[in-house]
Amino acid sequence: MAKSGIVAALTGASLVQKGAIAAGALFCVTVLWGAVQPREEVPYDPVKAHHEHPEQIVWSHNGIGNIGITGTFDRGQLQRGFKVYKEVCAACHSISRVAFRDLLALGFSEGQAKAIAAEYTVPSIDESGEPTTRPATLADKFPPVYANEVAARAAQNGAYPPDLSLITKARHDGTNYVRSLLLGYRDEVPTDFQKADTLWYNPWFASLAIAMPPPLASDEQVEYTDGTAPTINNYATDVSAFLAWTAEPKLDNRKETGVAAIAFLLILTILGYLSYKKVWRDVKKPKSA
């Protein structure tokens, strides 16, 4: 009965309708054929097999629940992180988007910030119009380590050390990623993964093989003056927090503004509702039929 109905439908259908029916039937057959075919086995990829995701830890600037809505930066931690950056990372990596005056937000006094700025030189012009250099001031930004990318690669055997100003924004889960990367160097390399002798194995790096040698070599590499234990773990945590701040130096201000805006809107909503109840209090509702 069904077969005769289909035949009758095809007999009375136009050429366009017949084409549509044929296309639909072909699509269904193709889908069914694909469903019953054996799946090709995904080729083994040692990079995906050994790649690790960043370790999740609690950060003060992420606030309640570690979700980032509340919380503020720990100024002591930021100062320690800057010290680690200055003594360990600054030899190769720039933070060229950060101005010396921004260090005041870390809790440094103006005199301390000026002293730090004076340790650097920036390009300038002398009285005769010739290019020269001068000590940096609070108005200047941290100068780049290398004049350009070519010079950087020449000094680093072809590798290009990235600017760290926005590194935690340029990487997924950036703050945890940087910390895990710094702590993630391993001496033992999996037997199914091959790397060049000039690279270091780090399962937290995208390709597992990184050109940067382990920057944090041992405990007490950087001297802390506030009583914090000078350990590799603390170095990695503190400098990661500092780089989170360089990427979002106004984060605390934005959170304060956001909380104030939410409080204002909440109060406005309550006042609007009370006004609505006051204005429409004496208006009788129409009787339902």
Which residue ranges make up the annotated binding site for heme c?
89, 92-93, 212
In terms of Cα–Cα distance, which of 41, 49, 164 is closest to 95? Answer: 164
In terms of Cα–Cα distance, which of 242, 185, 195, 243 is closest to 217? Answer: 185
Long-range contacts of 41-46 (CB under 8 A, 24+ apart): 44/192, 46/190, 46/192, 46/193, 46/208
CB 85 within 8 A of CB 95: yes
Phi, psi of 184 (to 5 degrees): -95, 5
Q: How far apart are CA 116 and CA 21, in angstroms?
A: 78
Q: How far apart are CA 24 and CA 13, in angstroms?
A: 15
Residues contributing to the annotated binding site: 89, 92-93, 212
Instruction: Give the Cβ contact number of residue 86 at 10 Å.
Output: 17
